[in-house]
Amino acid sequence: MIKIFVTGDNHIGLKYASHPQGPVLAAARLEAFQGMVANANAQQCDFFVITGDLFENTYGIAKKEIEKLTEVFAQFQGIVAVLPGNHDYYDEEGKLWQQFQDVIKTKDNILLLTEYRPYRLSMNDAEVMLYPALCTSLHSAPGENNLGWIKNQDMSDSHCYHIGIAHGAVVGETIDSEGQYFLMSREELADIPVDVWLLGHTHVPFPQNLGLDLAPTGEKIFNPGTHVQTDVSCNTSGVCFIIAISEDKTICAQQIPSGPLRFCRKHITLTAGEMETILERELADIPDNSVVDVVFSGAVTIEEYESRASLFQQALSRFIEGTYRDGALSKLISEELIRREFPETSFSAGLLLALLDKPQEAQLAYELLKSLKEAK
Partner 1 sequence: MKIQQISCTQFAGIRNKSISLTDGLNVIYGKNESGKSTLVNLLSRTLFQNARIDGRKDKEFRELYFPGAKRGSSVAGDFADGSILFTSEKGVYTLSKEWGQDARCTLSTPEGVIRDPKKIEEALREVLLYGEGVYGELLFSSQRNADLSLAAMLDAARKTDAKQEIMEAVTIAFAESDGISVDSIEAAIQGKIEELAGKHWDVANGLPLRKAGAGRWTKELGKVLAAYYQWQDAKAVLEEIVRLEAAADQAAIEYSRQNDSAQAAESAYESFQRFAGRLQDQQDLKKAMARINDDLEKYREAVERWPRMIKGLAQSRALQQQRDNRMRLDMYETLKATAEEKQQLKAKLVDISCPEPTELQVVKTAQRNLTHWENQLCGMNVQAAIEMFGGQQIEMTSLRTGQKLDLAGCNGRITEAVRLEVPGVMTMELSPVDVDAKAIEGQIGEARAAISDILSKYQVSSVEELEALAGNVAEDKAKLALVEAKLIAALGETSFAELEQSVAMITAPVAEKDVIDREIYQLLGGKDLDKTIIATDARIEAYTSQYGSVEALQEQITEARCELAKMQDALAAGEEIPADFQEITNPEQYLAMLKQEVTTKRQRREEALTAKTAAGSKLEHYLETVTVAPAANLEKAERDFREQQALLDCWLHIAAVFADQKEVLTDNPMQDIAERFAHYLGVVSGGKVVSDFPEKDKLAMEIYSDNQVLDYGKLSEGTKETVSLAFRLAVLDHLFPEGGVIVFDDPFANMDADRTGAAWQLIRDAAQRHQVLFFTCREDYPEESAANLIQI
Q: How far is the CB of 95 from partner 1 (least distance, A)?
A: 9
- Closer CB to partner 1, 220 or 358, in the complex: 358
**Angle CA 234–238–242, to nearest 5:** 130
Q: How far apart are CA 218 and CA 216, in angstroms?
A: 6
What are 264's strand-pairing partners? 292
Q: Return the ∠ at Cα 103 (arms to 42 and 120), rounded to 5°.
A: 60
User: What is the H or E stretch that residue 245 is in?
Assistant: strand 238-245
Q: Residue 162 or 331: which CB sits closer to partner 1?
A: 331
Q: Using the minimum distance from each CB to partner 1, give the nearer residue, 263 or 319.
A: 263
Report the nearest approach of partner 1 to the CB of residue 84 (Å): 12
Greatest alpha-carbon pair distance for the chain in Å reads: 94
Closest separation between CB of residue 303 and partner 1, Å? 11
Using alpha carbons only, what angle is made at residue 86 by residues 81 and 89, rounded to the nearest 5 degrees? 65
Interacting residues with partner 1 (CB under 8 A): 15-19, 58-60, 89, 91, 93-94, 136-141, 325, 327-328, 339, 341-351, 354-355, 358, 360-361, 364-365, 368-369, 371-373, 376
Q: Least distance from C-beta 368 to partner 1, angstroms? A: 5
Nearer to partner 1, 26 or 283 (CB): 26
If one counts every other C-beta atom within 10 angstroms of the C-beta of residue 310, the result is 9
108 vs 357 by CB, closer to partner 1: 357
Q: Please list, in sequence order, all residues whose beta carbon lies within 8 angstroms of the beta carbon of residue 162, skipping any fewer than 6 positions away.
A: 129, 131, 155, 193, 194, 195
Chain length of the chain:
376
Q: What is the 8-class DSSP label of residue 95?
A: H
Q: Which is nearer to partner 1, 47 or 182 (CB)?
A: 182
Separation between Cα atoms, residue 361 and residue 367, nearest integer Å: 10
Give the shortest CB-339-to-partner 1 separation in angstroms: 6
- E-only strand ranges, 114-230: 119-123, 126-133, 160-167, 196-200, 215-216, 221-222
Please report how close the Cβ of residue 141 comes to partner 1 at its closest, in angstroms: 6
* 3-state secondary structure (DSSP) of residue 108: coil
Q: Return the SS3 of 140.
A: coil
Q: How far is the CB of 132 from partner 1 (least distance, A)?
A: 15
| Shortest distance (Å) from residue 273 CB to partner 1 | 12
Give strand ranges (E) for 47-125: 47-50, 79-82, 110-112, 119-123
The nearer residue to partner 1, 7 or 58, going by C-beta atoms, is: 58
- Which one, 120 or 325, has the nearer CB to partner 1? 325
